[in-house]
Amino acid sequence: MIQLPRISIEEAKKILEEVDSNQYFWINNGPIVKSLFDLPEVLRFIDDNTFKYHVNDRKNDLAEWIEETVGDCTLAKVLKRIKTKGTTINKVNQRLAYLKKLAKVR
């Protein structure tokens, strides 16, 4: 599970918040991601080619958005090394579970 470094309850709550509407992540020809909560479901919905448009050897749009907009540098660092949709979903779900537990959010 992605847990290090430790973060405060306030930081966890901030990471879990919906971002401002001008900072939503727009999936190529697909849905909009408004928060880290949305990401696993959206990733399950999109096809592999759309995923590869955003995550490939040249770039990782998801990791960049998570680091720069959501503010979760720990998850972004992990995702920068991952190139598959299934593993990305698993890592995001692991991080969500940890943050929800820390922030006492369901």
Q: Which of 70, 24, 30, 75 lies closest to 48, judged by CA? A: 30
C-alpha of 80 from chain center: 11
pLDDT reported for residue 3: 44
HSE-CB at 5 with a 13 A cutoff on CA atoms is 5
Q: What angle do CA 50, 43, 65 make, to 5 degrees?
A: 85
pLDDT tens for 26-84 read: 999 889 999 999 999 999 999 999 999 999 999 999 999 999 999 999 999 999 999 99
pTM (whole model) above 0.85: yes
Q: How far apart are CA 19 and CA 45, in angstroms?
A: 21
The residue ranges of every structural domain in the chain are: 9-103
